[in-house]
Amino acid sequence: MLDFDQETWLYLAIIAAIFIYFSRNSGRAKNNRKNRKNRSFRKRYLERREQEKSEDTFQEKNKK
C-alpha cells in the first residue's frame, strides 16, 4: 500500500515528531498561562481582602 523508501520514512518520522512536540508544548503553555492567571487572581483577591480587614480595624479604632 505505502511503498516508500527509507529516506521518505525518515522524513515522515521527523515531521511527525515535530508535530507531536509542538502540539504537546502548546497544551503545556496553555496550562501555564491559565495557572499564572489564576495565581494572579488569587494574589489580587488576598491583597484586597487584607486591605478590607485593615480598613475595618481602622474604623473600629476610630469609633472608640
Q: Grid coordinates representing 35?
A: 495557572
pLDDT of residue 27: 81
| DSSP track, 3-59 | ---HHHHHHHHHHHHHHHHHHHHHHHHHHHHHHHHHHHHHHHHHHHHHHHHHHHHHH
Q: What is the pLDDT of residue 30?
A: 85
pLDDT of residue 40: 84
pLDDT given at position 1: 59
pLDDT value for 12? 95
